[in-house]
Chains A and B, each alone.
Chain A
Amino acid sequence: MELCEYTCWQLHDMLKRKEVSSREITESVIKRIEEVDERTNCYITKTFDVALQKSHQVDDKIRRGEEIHPLSGIPIAIKDNICTEGVRTTCGSRILLNFIPPYDATVVKRLKEKGAVFIGKTNMDEFAMGSSTETSYFGITRNPWNLETVPGGSSGGSAAAVAADQTILALGSDTGGSIRQPASMCGVIGLKPTYGRISRFGLIAYASSLDQIGPITKDVRDCTLLLNAISGYDEQDSTSVNREVPDYTKSLVEDLKGIKIGIPTEYFGKGLDKEVEEGVLDGVKLLCSLGAEAEETHLPHTDYAIASYYLIATSEASSNLARYDGVGYGYRGAEEDLIDMYKHTRSSGFGAEVKRRIMLGTYSLSSGYYDAYYLKALKVRTLIKQDFEEAFKKFDCLITPTSPTPAFYIGEKIDDPLTMYLQDIYTISTNLAGIPGISIPCGFSHDGLPIGLQILGPIFGEEKLLQIAYTFEQNTDYHQQKPKI
C-alpha cells in the first residue's frame, strides 16, 4: 500500500512513531498526482515546491522531538475558491485567471499554523456554480470511479482528488450541496457544517448567506480532525458564530442507542434512482439494527426549495460577482471606453452558467420584481427552516439520499440547466436552513459507482451527525473501497 492511500490519522500515527517522514508522504502524493491527474484533472494549480518545503519543516520538528498537530505534515488540497497568499486562486474562472491573493483565507491560515502541507488548488465549477465540475475554465474533472462520468460539483476536484488518493485531505465549499454531492459521487466523506461554524473570510463568495467551507476526507475520523482545525469564530467574518468548538473526535463512538432517525418522504419521490433509494434505505436498516429507530416524517415545503434557492443564491451572486469588472484586478477585456470595457470583460471573462445565474439574480432583484421573487424566496426560506425545526423536535437526525443519482456521464446534463439543478434537490434545503449535513458512502450502483447517504442535523448538531456517521462506517467497508485508476 502506497502512503498516499492512507488516512490522515493513520499517517499521523506513523509520523509520531517515526515510521515515515512527511517528505515521504508528500512525495507519495506528488507521485500519485503525476500519475493520474492527466486523466482526472483534479488540480488547477499544483504547489509541490511549497509542499515539500513545508514537509521538511515538519520533519525537522519531529526530529527535534516536538509535539505535532494531527494535521502536521499531512498533504491537503484546497478548493480554488479559497484564497491562498501568493498562490493563484482562480475560482475556476477566466476572469480570475491570474489572480494571486495577497492574503490567506482564515481556514488556510489556521491550517498553516497547524503544519498542514498544501499540495495544490483543486478544480471546481466556475464560481462554484454547478453540480458536475464541467463549467471550469480549466477543463472538466473526471470521476476516478469511471472517467466517462462527472465527479459531481462544484467541489469536484477536491472530492475526486481524495477518492483517487491525489491528496490525503481536502477542503471544499458548499452553497447548495457542493461538498456533499461530489463526496457522494466519489465515494468519500463530505461535511457541510452549520452556517457560521467556519469563517468565510477568504472564501470567494458565490452566495454569502449560503456558502460554507467544509472537509472532504477518506473517513469520518479524518473529517473530525479537519473540522477541529478549521472551526471557530473569526472576527474578520461577522457571520461566523462566537461559540465554543467541541473536540469533534469525541464523537467517534459507536453508539446509536435511542437515536431517532426521521425519513422525510419528500426526499424519496419521483426522480430518485432505484439503486440510490435501495442503498440509502439499506443504510437506514443497518443503523436500526445497531440500535437506532427510524420513522417516516415530512418536510412539507421541500417542493419550493429549488426555486427559493435559485432566487436567493443568484441574487446574492449577481451582486457578489459585480466586482469582477476589469478595473482593479483580474482579466480585462478590450477597452474602447468604460462601458465597452465592462461589457467585454464580463462577457468573455465569465462562462455561460455564471452569466445565466448573474442574469437570473439581477432580474430577481430588479425594482418591480423584488417582492415577487427575492422577498418571496426569503419567506419560503423561513418556512423551510421551520420545517427542519419541527422535524428536529422529534428526531435526532434526518436521513436522505445525497443526490438523486450516482455519477452521470460527462455532457449528459450540461446543456439542460433545469435537469442539472435537480441534482441539488436533496442538498439545497440544508443551506437554506443553515443546518449541518454529511454525506457518507453507503453502497455502489450495479456499474460500480458510489452512492451517498446524507445525514442532516439541527444547527450546531455536528457531533451527533459525526457519531452516527462513524458508527455506520465502523460497520461497513464502502469507504475503504478504492477506484481502480
Chain B
Amino acid sequence: MDYEPVIGLEVHVQLATKTKLFCGCRTTFGAPPNSQTCPVCLGFPGVLPVLNKEVVELAILSAIALNCTINPYSRFSRKNYFYPDLPKAYQISQYDLPLAKDGWVEISSGGKIRKIGIIRVHLEEDAGKLIHEDSGSLVDYNRCGIPLIEIVSSPMLRSSQEAYEYLNALKDILRYLRVSDCNMEEGSLRCDANVSVREKDAEGFGTKTEVKNMNSFKAVKQALDYEISRQIDLLEKGRRVLQETRLWDERESRTHGMRTKEEAHDYRYFPEPDLVPLSINPEWVNKISKRLPELPKDRMNRFLKEYGLPEYDALVLTSSRDLADYYEECVRLYNQPKVISNWIMTELLALLKEDGIEITQVKIKPEHLISMLGLIDKGVISGKIAKDIIVHMFRTGKDPSLIVEEKGLVQITDEDEVSKVIDEVILENKKAVLEYKSGKTKVMGFLVGQVMKKTEGKANPQIVNKLLREKI
C-alpha cells in the first residue's frame, strides 16, 4: 500500500530584542547563569509584567512577512504547569486570541512552488534552562522571559524534504527581517513536528505523534524520516500508532516515546489578568509594514532580471540580506554585475567560509573591491595577481592600490622589458621552442608559464602571448 506523511511544524523563534518580553533584563546569549534576571522574570511575589513594545513590533513585522492577518484585538493567556524552569508556574502566552493568523510561506518542492499555510503566529515568553549534574539539578533563569514567536504551520507538508524547505524559507525570511538570527544550535529557533501517515490521497488524518528535541534542520529531516517509516511500519503490521510525544535521539538516530505521565497536562489556560488586551490598529500595522524589506524570493527574481545573473548566482547572493546588500553596493559603484558576482562567489565567499565569518564582519569594503577591479581593467594588475591581492585585502582591509605599491605587484606592460625576458626564456628552452615549431602548439602554455615565473607573475599575459608568437 502507498502511504503519504502529513506533517505540521510548530516553530519557536526568539526575537532579537535587547530586552526581555516583560521586563528590562538583557537577552545576551551565553551570559553567566542567572546574571540577566530580575524580580519580574524570576516571578517574585507581587511583581507585574509590562509588555515590551519592540517585541510586539517585531512580531507584527514577522506576521506581515508571513502573509498573516494581524488580529486587531489579541490577548495574553496563562499556560499553567509546574516545572522548576518556570518560576511563576505559568507561562504567559497567547491562546484563544493570537497576534496573527492565516498566512503562508512559499517553498519549492519537486520543481514546483507550493504555498504552505500558517495557522497562527503568537507571542510568548521562554522558560529557563535546567542543568543536571551529579550533585543535583541547577537552573539558569537567563532565558526566562525571552521573547518568542510561535509559528504554527498547517498540516500541509508532505515529506521531510518539504519540512526542510519550509524551515529554510522561514529562516531566510526572518533573518531578512532581522527579527531573529534563527540559530538552532543557540536555541533561537526551535522546532517541534506533528507527524502522521495515511493512505495516499485519503481524506482523513492518521493518528499523529509530536516529535521534539531536534537540534538542527538536518535533525528535523532525519527525525521525520525515521518517524514516518516507523509509523508506516506499524500500520503495515496491522498495529496502531499511539498518540504521544516522542523525543528524537540524535545519537541513536531514532525517536523514543516519552512517558505518558509527563505529558498528561491540563494547562488550564485563562486570560492573563495582569496585562490589558493588545489592540493593534491598522495605522500601527501600516507604519510597521514600511519597515518590511524586500524579501529573499523577490530579491532573487529581481537579481535575475535586473542584473542578468544565472539562477545559481542570484540564489547564493540573496541567501542573506547582508550579502545581497554588499553585492548591490558593489554593483552601484561598478556596473559589471556578472564580474562582481564571480569575484564574490568564488573568492570572497571562499575566504569567508575558510574563516567561518559572516559578510558583515568582512574587512574588504565594497569600494576597495571595486577599485581592485579597476586596477585589473587598467591593466595595472593581472587577474591572477588580483587573486593574491584580495587575500591581502581580506586579512588587512587595506586599499588594493596600497597593497600593489607595497608589494611591488604592478604588472609589467612595457614590451621591451617583457621582450628581454622572452629572449632569455627562448635561449633556456630550445627544446620546447623546437617542439612548438614542429607543431606541438601545447608547449606555448609552458613557455608562457616560464615567462610569468621569471617576472613573478607580473608580466601582462596578453603581451607575453603576443610577443612569444612573434619571436618564435
Chain A residues within 8 Å of B, Cβ to Cβ:
81-83, 89, 91, 96, 99, 101-103, 105, 200-205, 207-209, 235-239, 315-316, 318-319, 322-325, 327-329, 338, 342, 362, 365-367, 370, 374
Other-chain contact of B274, A239, A318, A362 (Cβ < 8 Å) = A239
List 25 contacting pairs A-B, 8 Å CB cutoff, sorted by A.
A89-B46, A101-B45, A101-B46, A102-B39, A103-B47, A105-B46, A203-B46, A205-B45, A236-B48, A238-B49, A239-B273, A318-B80, A323-B87, A324-B45, A327-B87, A327-B139, A328-B43, A328-B44, A328-B87, A338-B84, A365-B268, A365-B269, A366-B268, A367-B266, A370-B270
Q: How far is B311's CA from A317's CA once the two chains are assembled, in angstroms? A: 60
Q: How far is B89's CA from A318's CA once the two chains are assembled, in angstroms? A: 10
B46–A323 CB distance below 8 A:
no
Most chain A beta-carbon contacts within 10 A, residue among B45, B49, B268, B269: B45
Chain B residues, Cβ within 8 Å of A102? 39, 44
Chain B residues within 8 Å of A, Cβ to Cβ:
39, 42-51, 78, 80, 82, 84, 87-90, 139, 266, 268-270, 273-276
B51–A319 CB distance below 8 A:
no
Chain B residues, Cβ within 8 Å of A315? 270
Most chain A beta-carbon contacts within 10 A, residue among B42, B46, B270: B46
B44–A101 CB distance below 8 A:
yes
Chain B residues, Cβ within 8 Å of A322? 80, 82, 88-90
**A460 to chain B: closest CB distance in Å?**
17
B270–A365 CB distance below 8 A:
yes
**B76 to chain A: closest CB distance in Å?**
10
What does DSSP make chain A's interface, helix, strand, loop or mixed?
loop
Task: Known pairs A236-B48, A322-B90, A365-B268; list 19 more (Cβ under 8 Å).
Answer: A81-B46, A96-B45, A201-B48, A202-B46, A202-B47, A204-B46, A208-B273, A235-B50, A238-B48, A238-B49, A238-B276, A239-B275, A316-B270, A319-B78, A322-B80, A323-B45, A323-B88, A328-B43, A367-B266
**B87 to chain A: closest CB distance in Å?**
5
**If A322-B88, A325-B89 touch, does A201 touch B47 (CB 8 Å cutoff)?**
yes
For the complex of A and B, 9 pairs with smallest distance between CB atoms: A322-B89, A208-B273, A365-B268, A209-B273, A204-B45, A204-B46, A202-B46, A83-B46, A323-B43
Q: How far is B88's CA from A207's CA once the two chains are assembled, in angstroms? A: 15
Q: How far is B349's CA from A169's CA once the two chains are assembled, in angstroms? A: 73
Chain B residue nearest to A196 (CB atoms) is B276
Q: How far is B472's CA from A32's CA once the two chains are assembled, in angstroms? A: 122
**B20 to chain A: closest CB distance in Å?**
14
B44–A329 CB distance below 8 A:
yes
B274–A208 CB distance below 8 A:
yes
Q: How far is B50's CA from A328's CA once the two chains are assembled, in angstroms? A: 22
Q: How far is B90's CA from A324's CA once the two chains are assembled, in angstroms? A: 12
A236–B50 CB distance below 8 A:
yes
A366–B266 CB distance below 8 A:
yes
**B70 to chain A: closest CB distance in Å?**
20
Chain A residues, Cβ within 8 Å of B276? 238-239
**B259 to chain A: closest CB distance in Å?**
13
**A122 to chain B: closest CB distance in Å?**
16
B268–A103 CB distance below 8 A:
no
Q: How far is B274's CA from A203's CA once the two chains are assembled, in angstroms? A: 12
Chain B residues, Cβ within 8 Å of A329? 44
A238–B50 CB distance below 8 A:
yes
Chain A residues, Cβ within 8 Å of B42? 328
Most chain A beta-carbon contacts within 10 A, residue among B51, B88, B274: B274
**A78 to chain B: closest CB distance in Å?**
12
